[in-house]
Amino acid sequence: MVACLGVRGAVRQVIRKYLSGGNTVNGTRTPTGPVLVLTALPVEYRAVRERLVSVRRGPSHQGTVFEAGWLNGTPWQIVLAQTGAGNHASAVLTSRAIEAFDPCALFFVGVAGGLRPDIALGDVVVATKVYAYHGGKETDGGFAARPVSWQAPHELEQLARFVDRDGAWAGARPRTGGGHAPPAVHFKPIAAGEVVSDAQESALRRMLDRHYQDAVAVEMEGAGVAQAAHLSNRLPALIVRGISDRADGTKRRSDAADWQTVAARNAAAFACSVVRELEAGGEEPYGSLDPYAFLDPYTASDPDGLLVPDGFFVPEDFRVPGARPSASLAHRSESAPPLPYGAPAHPAPSPWPSPTSPRQASPYPAPYPSTPPSAGADGQPWTPGQPWTGGRTVSTPACRYLVHDELLDEQPAPDHALVRHQAVACRLEPSAAGTASPYVWLRHAEVRLPTPDALDALAALGREHDLLGRIHQRARGLPGPGRYERIGDRRAVLALPWPLTRSGRRCGTLHSGWLADRSAPLNANRLARLLAAIAGLCDTLAALHRARATHRHLDPTVVLEQDDGRLILRDLGLAAHAPCPGEGPTLYRAPEQWRGGHRPGLVGPPADVYQLAALTYHLATGRPPEPGGAPPPSSRLERAPVGLDRAVRAALAEDPGERPAARALGTALRAARDDLLGAA
């Protein structure tokens, strides 16, 4: 078994110790940052950039422009910059990038001149050692070299060797149309200086052959990059070069044959394949860039939120200083939806909810009675440390609530530092007489061990209350701020009002009204009603997005339906929490939220749009959309407008940047409804 693991298994254990870009504890860096990829020339930059998706420009750092994108199919975010030629400029800009993004690994990708006849044009050289060849002493007796060198980190070199042996990377190269043979990969030293070497017989070439005879390529940036990485707390850095000329006086001819493009693309393909191996088969997804680094906020030119922003939207005052999503959340099962409070800071070893819990046997609750309890109703008092069950009364300094079985959830954190509860409840004291509704959606957090993650989960209820207090009047579909109570330093309760119908009964959820005991598609009349209701919910989400917040946990149980068809959010879902891998409801989770493809920098308003479109698809057709591409709704509906197919297809796009904004989706759904009614 150990032999089977080989390099891929053993090396990753070491990489987890070094390949990280955050704080240092006992000499070990903790994983937080993205992968930093630097290039010198425009052709090199384009070769890397064309391999990324959802590329967007970030803020300039001391005048240096950075772009960030995702290496598709991985959780890695790549920060890309062009340093220009020369070791000095490369060293300065590399240090600047490391300071700005705190990366977990660094790759310098580009072209170089070959120094050995057995190194063919287009071949890839992975630098096992980088020489700064201009160091030395000149005396009457001649030149005495004083080499300075940096070796490749063992962990990255081993992964690069594995990628070479595997051979699959060569198939990922762009086709050049020139009939070039598959490139070889060489693991050899390279020499870096400040001179473009293009002569077979020169003092520089003779010096390289005499003092650096094991170097197989020559370039102008590797020494500066390696030095900057060396000075940045042992940041792992790998130099990957494609051979574009032979440094023998034929450079102009090689450039005319476009070998620079071929070599740059080969180097980029190999480097990106190594980046993929940092994550493949591992337990932890790395590459979480600070979600605020590339935030693209709404501006006055977009007052209605019709444009799709690229950034992650959580109010600045919602951030916990220094907090980042825990990489250990990757252990959470992909079939395990997190609590609507937000996923806990440490993962559960088994899927949530527990299959042994009779309340959680189905992902949706059974239909429930909706009349208030009789006067004088009471129940068994709940005390901290006990489980919640229907019929218990939960008391706070200001109120007393009777807990119902419906939608009741209880989840302890795996480290037992925190227990979170939520359920429908009826307010008993003070008397609910004369109020709009005696019912509340009761959310409760109880800290049993004051860890930072547990205390942050406690504070999240207060953050949600504050946000609702600021925005609940901006859209009819937002819940009121309700009542928030902080009980000492270990408990917090948020009670959000649950609306009533005109007959005084408690409003049902979308699940109880549209999905319970139904798997067939809707007829035309009900479909028109649904599209109008969902369009109104789009306006509600647009208001939430304008407040720089996102729900990210939309499913049929968190949307309430009034008897006039209007939809109201039960709560704000995950709006008070930073994104974490595997968040969101399983049936409606956006691609960027899944554990294997988690992209925190892109988890924002587009995730809400995706979830709402998936929910619409399910409600209309009776089936949730299949991951990776669902048949159009019209294929399952007796009669459906063409505009519905277009709107749902756009909102379910894999790339978050291609999805419409919430307001635009609502406009498209209203147009589809009008077409449906016009054809009736």
pLDDT, residue 10, reads 40
pLDDT in tens, 391-447: 889 999 999 999 998 889 888 887 889 999 999 999 987 865 555 678 999 999 999
Average pLDDT score over residue span 260-266 = 93
pLDDT of residue 603: 86
Nearest 5°: CA angle at 596, between 590 and 602? 45
What's the pLDDT score for residue 261?
92
Mean pLDDT, the chain, integer: 77
CA-CA distance, 672 to 587, in Å (whole number)? Answer: 24
DSSP of 423-483: EEEEEEES--TTSS-SEEEEEEEEESS--HHHHHHHHHHHHHHHHHHHHTTS-TTSPP--E
* pLDDT score, position 179: 53
Mean pLDDT check: name the lowest of 7-11, 90-94, 223-227, 589-593.
7-11
123 pLDDT above the threshold of 60? yes
pLDDT at 248: 81
Q: What gap in Å lies between CA 407 and CA 423, rounded to an integer?
A: 5
**Measured CA distances, 89 to 71, 112, 235 (Å):** 27, 17, 19
Instruction: Give 85's strand partners.
Output: none
User: Which CATH code for domain 2-22+31-279?
Assistant: 3.40.50.1580
pLDDT at 343 over 80: no
Determine contact, residues 145/76, Cβ cutoff 8 Å.
no
Return the domain boundaries, the chain: 2-22+31-279, 316-679
Map tokens 């979170």 to a residue.
420
Confidence of residue 73 (pLDDT cuts 50, 70, 90): low
Top mean pLDDT of 56-70, 101-115, 167-181 is at: 101-115
Q: Distance (Å, rounded) from C-alpha 321 to C-alpha 588?
A: 30
Q: What is the pLDDT of residue 298?
A: 30
Predicted confidence band of residue 59 (pLDDT cuts 50, 70, 90): low
Q: Are 356 and 418 in contact (CB under 8 A)?
A: no
With 0.75 as the threshold, say if the pTM is over it: no
Neighbours of 320 (CB within 10 A): 15
pLDDT of 619 reads 92
State how far the Cα of 450 lies from the Cα of 418, in Å rounded to an integer. 8
Residues 524-582 have pLDDT tens digits of 889 999 999 999 999 999 999 999 899 999 999 999 999 889 999 999 999 998 888 88
List residues bridging with 385 in a β-sheet: none
Residue 186 confidence (pLDDT) above 80: yes
pLDDT value of position 2: 33
The fraction of the chain above a pLDDT of 70, given in percent, is 75
pLDDT over 50 (residue 286): no
Which of 58-72, 149-163, 586-600 tops mean pLDDT? 149-163
Query: For the CA atoms of the chain, what is the radius of gyration?
Result: 29
For residues 162 and 364, give the distance between their C-alpha atoms in angstroms, rounded to a whole number.
Answer: 46
Nearest to 457 by CA among 320, 550, 644: 320
Place of tokens 């630098």: 127
pLDDT at position 644 over 70:
yes
User: Domain 316-679 in CATH: superfamily?
Assistant: Transferase(Phosphotransferase) domain 1 (1.10.510.10)
Cis peptide before 353 (omega within 30 of 0): yes
Q: How far is the C-alpha of 614 from the C-alpha of 607, rounded, in Å?
A: 11
As a whole number of angstroms, the distance between CA 145 and CA 139 comes to 11
